[in-house]
Structure 1
């Protein structure tokens, strides 16, 4: 009996060690190589209702600056400063749950990337634990720019559409490098429920969310990731200012407007729930 217990213990130890080595190996491989497919891509491919899969990997340098800025503003406005977990968002989500408010996620872009690349959709504690483990690994091994690059190339952005390049070509007939701020905001507006929301034919709800994201993009200021396409970012400003009426008041002294500090940024975009989010976290 004691011998059998020792064998089981040794087997468990070896299994855990093997899983650790394999997971570390995959994280190291994907630090340098494109992610060819994800578990969710495989699941969607098995669904007969999913149209032909579209997935085109592009480097972060071939993605408009507007796209990382839009997803940071919409999904995770502390992305550049946290280490994988937004403790403030987690605290707020727990407080809302205690008050009986609407259940909302607090996953960061790093957590979503870990889930998309290495794990399966679901809400089990086992999956959440593995997600936290992979989040720590990619934060330590990849860094922010690589996490953003993998995120924008692997996230689901429509039925059978994965990655920003495929989404940009499908919805706007252009490359991801040419996306404007309003187009990037529309894609970001679809992310909570990409199988039901269509950036190419946005509903009134999506337009409202797009406006909220554009406002947050202005407050965030910039995300220092990649080289992108600055011309595309500036190609379509959110709103053209109107000339002010003449006034007899003295002109104020010009001041430089700095982006809002991270701790003073608004919370991630929330609008009235006219549509339900089909979150598969």
Structure 2
């Protein structure tokens, strides 16, 4: 009896692990609008959330530039993983030094769509192959489109359109360079950071991101060629 139960549990675990790999080709279809694990959590706990899907071409390029330069400057040149940054983080961890994040946009999208938000080694190990599979199956434009539509920008606010409306009262297509930079620097901590009421540190970081976005032409060719 226990052997049979264990067998079914293993099969169930394998099915759960395999499901994202089956969904990723489906999500390549432009008419599919995926939701994140956090959105599902909101539904399951009875909380309301806001997300308005918007196509890639209806998002201000300056927001795309700002997010890319803030979150993943090598987005167009890697295959889902920035191995140089990841290896540096691993080396620092092994030496007992403080580590910085090395998550690419593909890795963050894998987490948002399929994995829990808790920071664990297991989650990171699951993120890496999922990110590589996404990058192989989706175009860079589709990957960025999904990321910008599932990312959490404020408590209960998901996607660039809902965030632009909530923070600045404008559609995502009409965001200014400064608004885009402020939204980009909100992403790492949307619970504590407020793009509409930024701290001095946020404003300083946003100025840096705004400057980098202006100079990002060579870095974003995979999105706007």
Identify which range, 211-220 or 175-184, moves more after superposition.
211-220
Preserved CA contact (<8 Å) 2:76 2:222: no
Q: What are the equivalent positions in structure 2 for 1:91-170 lying under 5 Å apart?
A: 91-98=87-94, 100-170=96-166
Distance in 1 of aligned mates of 2:202 and 2:32 = 31
Distance in 2 of aligned mates of 1:226 and 1:87 = 21
Structure 2 residue 62 is the aligned partner of structure 1 residue 75: no
Give RMSD over aligned pairs: 2.7
Give the count of matched residue pairs. Answer: 222
Distance in 2 of aligned mates of 1:148 and 1:225 = 11
Indicate which of 33, 36, 44 corresponds to 1:35: 33
Indicate which of 61, 72, 93 corresponds to 1:65: 61
Q: CA deviation at 1:143?
A: 2.4
Q: What are the equivalent positions in structure 2 for 1:225-236 lying under 5 Å apart?
A: none
1:209-249 Cα distance to aligned partner (Å, 9 max, x none): 1012122223432523656xxxxxxxxxxxxxxxxxxxxxx
Structure 2 residue 217 is the aligned partner of structure 1 residue 224: no
Distance in 1 of aligned mates of 2:94 and 2:212 = 28
1:143-172 Cα distance to aligned partner (Å, 9 max, x none): 211110000000000011001000001111
Q: What are the equivalent positions in structure 2 for 1:261-276 lying under 5 Å apart?
A: none
Match of 1:176 in 2: 172
Higher helix share: 2
Distance in 1 of aligned mates of 2:19 and 2:35 = 17
TM-score (normalizing by structure 2): 0.86
Preserved CA contact (<8 Å) 1:61 1:226: no
Gaps of 5+ in 2: none
Distance in 2 of aligned mates of 1:204 and 1:17 = 47
Q: CA deviation at 1:129?
A: 2.3
Flag the 1:62–1:94 CA change in 2: closer, same or farther, 3 A. Answer: same
Which structure has the greater CA radius of gyration? 1
Match of 1:202 in 2: 198
Q: CA deviation at 1:120?
A: 1.3
Match of 1:249 in 2: none
User: 3-state SS of the aligned residue for 2:101?
Assistant: coil
Match of 1:90 in 2: 86
Flag the 1:21–1:207 CA change in 2: closer, same or farther, 3 A. Answer: closer
